[in-house]
Amino acid sequence: MSAHGHPHLHASYHPPDERSRVADAQPEPSPDTTPAGGGAPGVRHTRERMTRETALGTALLTYAALNGLAGLVMLSFPRALWVSIGGAEGEGVGNAYASTRFAGAALAALAVAALLVMRKPARQSTLVTVLAIEATLVAVATVLNGVVDDVPTDDWFTWLVAIGSVALAGLMWWARFIARKVLKAG
């Protein structure tokens, strides 16, 4: 029994010193200060900054996923996308949207280009800029569809595509700016 009446605590116990630590063990991160008005005091916050490579990779993967998915659906099942999901109505509308297959093929090809840049980003500044310009032009076109044109798809679908396109364009330009040194390295 210890002096405090606990049967498992012995008076001869000594905490481990630096010599007894495992050589490969990483030191615990030091606690950050809690910002005023946020979080509980004394809680450890570990926050790693996103690297330039990670930011670029995340943007390119998002670009590839969105463009690849939309492109493959437009290429394979344009009627399903525009009529069944988008709610387009009217005589001959479904057949008219079949003419978007070429755009689906282009989007799928751009998705592959984004994946190739992810694999080896050095000296790919021009290609990433082209991808960002494409995303911007699509964003402008989809917003114009929502504001100016009387498109036959449901409003929710038109604006979902427009807002998603604007967000993707912003993400691509942000990643292009953040990762400019990664893209020029070589």
* HEC profile of the chain: CCCCCCCCCCCCCCCCCHHHCCCCCCCCCCCCCCCCCCCCCCCCCCCCCCCHHHHHHHHHHHHHHHHHHHHHHHHHCHHHHHHHHCCCCCCCHHHHHHHHHHHHHHHHHHHHHHHHHHHCCCCCHHHHHHHHHHHHHHHHHHHHHHHCCCCCCCHHHHHHHHHHHHHHHHHHHHHHHHCHHHHHCC
Residue 140, judged by CB atoms within 10 A of its CB (0-12, 13-18, 19+), counts as middle
Domain boundaries, the chain: 52-184
Q: Which two tokens stand for residue 30?
A: 């030091």
pTM: 0.67
Q: Which two tokens stand for residue 89?
A: 């109505």
**Tens of pLDDT, residue by residue, the chain (186 residues):** 555 555 555 555 555 555 555 555 455 554 454 455 555 666 666 667 889 999 999 999 999 999 999 999 888 887 777 766 667 776 666 667 777 888 899 999 999 999 999 999 999 999 999 999 999 999 999 999 889 988 777 888 889 999 999 999 999 999 999 999 988 876
